[in-house]
Structure 1
């Protein structure tokens, strides 16, 4: 779907946005990853744009998952 460099960017943005989220919190990371992926699919591939989408998604995750 995406080239190698875009995939690496998506992964890096996810890791950056979720740096304070424990790895075991798969539900949170999955929610954020889905939103970042949706944005990339729509054409958003700038690092800052993807970070913004990721941060917004993280802020909307139910608190019971954080």
Structure 2
């Protein structure tokens, strides 16, 4: 499962769709908090930073 947050493609998922501009420090703070919450709960997903694009939520693949 992959979801980009804050990217500029029409099929992407936006965290704040009603806003035209969100300060980068606000986004960084929210992503940081979400990473900590996921780790604390033992949820095995990653929020990766995609340079100049946004963030990607990645779940592990099981063989």
Question: Which TM class, normalised by the smaller chain length?
Answer: 0.3 to 0.5
TM-score (norm 2): 0.37
- Work out which of the two has the higher radius of gyration on C-alpha atoms and give 1 or 2: 2
Q: More helix by proportion, 1 or 2?
A: 1
TM-score (norm 1): 0.35
Q: More strand by proportion, 1 or 2?
A: 2
